[in-house]
Amino acid sequence: MLAAILSRLLRMVVVMFGISVITFLIFFATPSSDPAARIAGKNAAQETIEAVRKDFGLDRPLYVQYGLMMQRLFISQDLTSFANRGQKIIPTVMAAAPATLSLVSGAAVLWMLGGILTGITAAAFRGRWPDKILMGLSMMAVAMPVFWVGEMVNLVTQNRLHDTWAFSWVPALGYTPFSQDPGLWFRSMVFPWLTLAFLYIGLYGRMLRTGIIETYQEDFIRTARAKGLTGRKVLLKHATRSAIIPIVIMFGMDFGVLVGGAAVLTEVVFGINGVGRLTYQALKVLDLPMIMATVLYASFFVVIANAVVDLLCLLIDPRMRRA
């Protein structure tokens, strides 16, 4: 068992190492990218570029640069930004993390509740109007780009209807830490949560509905009905319980990816200074140390989510426990 855990951990480290190498290569070894030229700015003189190259250590062999960066990131932990010289990377990322975590966890609660409710309701009313309405809405939710939904929400709540009774309580865009003012934190997060959750409610609702309806074809559902169980018990206890397993798996992956920074679009639209936005800004100015740190941060959560999902599956599905 210990060997199993160790080997699993090793695999996780290998994946993260691979990702760091891919990231590094994308920015240092693709033919068109010369980080020194980027940092020096457009139309910089050749001498300036050379000076920058030397200054940032970009003239050394690639593996040395990579090793140095990793050493400063993980061991001495004093890696600093290329763009804002002197800005330490690790504290910056850590400062951005709570905002993303607030956004994603709040939305996750909403979308799990909403998605499961949508899926079960639609499956229960299969083919009738509640099903049709819910599925229509879900399809729309999946079809709309999340940042556009955010913009439209802002248009209504921040501008057009902001001065009416309905939305006057919505604070201006931006993130207020929970420790500073819990009330304001909550009010500022309501619409970002709803916006982000909307898409996933659509996705999960559709998937759960299909899963439940497929489960109804199974022999064990027939057994449950032949036992004389009520329709509600068959639906909730027997059909939903099996159909929800893939949803849990998907939830783990989505949650990990989002906490790692994939909520970038929502963060940008709502002006939340989270990890996603930090990554995006670092990418825009080609702040390599920051990119490296944030990408590794993101992949860390993906890898963790993967492991947690595997563990969860063992817990909820006894069939996986064999052997």
Please state the closest distance from residue 180 (CB atom) to another protein, in A: 27
Q: How many CB atoms neighbour CB 44 within 10 A? A: 16
Q: Does 41 bind another protein (CB under 8 A)?
A: no
Among 83, 117, 142, 236, binds another protein (CB under 8 A): 142
Residues 19-38 that bind another protein (CB under 8 A): 19, 22-23, 26-27, 30-33, 38
167 binds another protein (CB under 8 A): no
Q: Which helix (H) or strand (E) holds 178?
A: none
Tell me how many degrees the CA angle 266-268-270 measures, rounded to the nearest 5: 65
The nearer residue to another protein, 90 or 142, going by C-beta atoms, is 142
Comparison of 55 and 317: residue with beta carbon closer to another protein: 317
84 binds another protein (CB under 8 A): no
Pairwise CA distance, residues 21 & 178, whole Å: 36
Count of residues that bind another protein according to CB under 8 A: 81
**Is position 83 an interface residue for another protein (rule: CB under 8 A)?**
no
Q: By CB under 8 A, is residue 168 in contact with another protein? A: no
Q: Which of 65, 100, 266, 279 binds another protein (CB under 8 A)?
A: 279
Does residue number 266 form part of the binding site for another protein (CB under 8 A)? no
Rounded Cα distance between 211 and 214, Å, is 5
To another protein, the closest distance from the beta carbon of 226 in angstroms equals 4
Q: Is 252 in the site for another protein (CB under 8 A)?
A: no
Q: Please tell me whether residue 218 binds another protein under the rule CB under 8 A.
A: yes
Per the CB < 8 A criterion, the answer to whether 100 and 185 are in contact is no
Report the candidate in 93, 151, 42 with the shortest Cα–Cα distance to residue 290: 93
Which range binds another protein by CB under 8 A, 83-91, 110-118, 175-183, 288-296?
Answer: 288-296
Sign of dihedral through CA atoms 187, 154, 106, 111? positive
Q: Would you call 161 helix, strand, or coil by DSSP?
A: coil
Q: Whole-number minimum distance, CB 95 to another protein, in Å? A: 19
Task: Pick from 44, 101, 137, 144 the residue near another protein by CB under 8 A.
Answer: 144
Count the residues in the chain: 323
Residue 86 is a binding residue for another protein (CB under 8 A): no
> Could you please report the per-residue DSSP string of 201-246?
HHHHHHHHHHHHHHHTTSHHHHHHHHTT--HHHIIIIIIHHHHHHH
Note whether 222 binds another protein by CB under 8 A. yes
299 binds another protein (CB under 8 A): yes
The answer to whether 238 and 178 have CB atoms below 8 angstroms apart is no
Which of 77, 164, 168, 230 binds another protein (CB under 8 A)? It is 230
Q: Which of 78, 218 has the CB closer to another protein?
A: 218
Q: Does 291 bind another protein (CB under 8 A)?
A: yes
Smallest separation, CB 295 to another protein (Å)? 6
Q: What sign has the CA pseudo-torsion 100, 106, 109, 110? A: negative
**Cβ neighbours for 273, distance < 8 A, ≥ 6 positions apart:** 96, 99, 174, 175, 267
Question: With binding defined as CB under 8 A, does residue 133 bind another protein?
Answer: no
